[in-house]
Amino acid sequence: MSKTEMMESLDDVFTDRRLNRRLVEQALAVTATEPVPILGRYTALASGGVSGQRGVFVYDPGAVAGYTSSLTRSLMARLRTLGDAAREGLTIGLVAAASAVHGTRSTVAWLAGDASPIRATPIPVTLPLSEIVERLNALQPRFLYGYASILVRLAAEQRAGRLQIRPMSVTSTSGTLVDEARAAIAEACAAPIVDIFGSGEGLVGTSAPDDDVLIFNSDFCIVELVDAENQPVPPGVPSAKVLLTNVYIHTQPLIRYELTDSFGKRPDRPSPGTDTGYGKAQALPTTALTQHFGWA
């Protein structure tokens, strides 16, 4: 199923027959910094992805829990290495979307409940750079999250002395983290770099610190790396696309759904659970993949 086919038949894709595209679009149209509930139960995200074509995705409470846990597994593993005293006053700065239409802002709201061990302070990436720098200097985040594009600019501000923060780690999301950008951010911040791939369709991949291989949430999503004819590609060969089967978003099931991202499976990656450090701490089924850019 392609995104075009999904959007054309969206009402038929929803498993709750009270849902329809009109209700979802109405909620997204009035969404500001907080997700707008739909039917008192659901929340929606909108995404263009690398294709540039808009898609909408509706999450029930169980799917919200699955998505946020996929995004925060690596962070939770790192937090477990800190004692309770070290976690006191822990600050997380997220320089990302201003609107909860996008997952990077919705996640802040989803993690805001009393039961959540994680609190993030959102800083809209749409603000002037000088104001972003000012807010980060005041916040002094222990963990810094942001789009790759803004992290590169913040690294330049750090080198110039206008930004003065000392994060324990920096996490890049929602953009291509090329080698040059990774090196510039790491040098300026003197901290390990984590890379996250996240899609509105529910697929999440996170790298270990200073690694370029993504570990996908393959306990929640079945990932098939295929060529243009939907035939499997061998390890080490970049895929033309990904066929995604999502097994935890029950409201809007996606079965062999086409993502136009390109990945290659690393044949030299150890079996799940055998990595040291953060991979071992996750102790979950994983698929190690390297994202490729420049292939159709």
pLDDT value, residue 176: 81
pLDDT value, residue 210: 92
Q: Is 80 helix (H, G, I), strand (E, B) or coil?
A: helix
Residue 252: left (phi > 0), alpha (psi -120 to 50), or beta? beta
Q: For residue 64, how many C-alpha atoms fall within 13 Å in the half-sphere facing its CB? A: 20
Among 207, 285, 205, 278, residue whose Cα is nearest residue 242: 205
Q: Is 273 helix (H, G, I), strand (E, B) or coil?
A: coil
The alpha-carbon radius of gyration of the chain (Å, integer) is: 19
Q: Is 96 helix (H, G, I), strand (E, B) or coil?
A: strand
**Whole-prediction pTM value?**
0.84
Output the CA torsion sign for 147, 81, 214, 115: negative
Q: Which ranges of the chain have pLDDT less than 70? A: 49-52, 83-89, 115, 269-296
**pLDDT tens digits along 33-66:** 999 999 999 999 998 766 667 899 999 999 999 9
* 197 neighbors 205 (Cβ within 8 angstroms): yes
**Angle at the Cα of 33 (from 95 to 136), degrees rounded to 5?**
25
Amino acid at 240: A
Report residue 205 CA to chain centroid gap: 7
Give buried/exposed letters for 136-160 (b at 16+ CB in 10 A, else e). Answer: beeeebbbbbbbbebbbbbbebbee
Instruction: Name the percent of the chain in helix, strand, coil, to the closest 5.
Output: 30, 25, 45
Q: How many residues in total does the chain contain?
A: 296
Burial of 293 (0-12, 13-18, 19+ CB in 10 A): exposed
Among 176, 181, 180, residue whose Cα is nearest residue 197: 176
pLDDT value, residue 8: 94
pLDDT value, residue 286: 38
CA distance 58 to 164: 39
Taking every pair of Cα atoms in the chain, the longest distance, rounded to a whole number of angstroms, is: 56
List, in order of start, the domains of the chain with CATH numbers.
3-292 (3.40.50.12780)
pLDDT value, residue 274: 33
Amino acid at 172: S
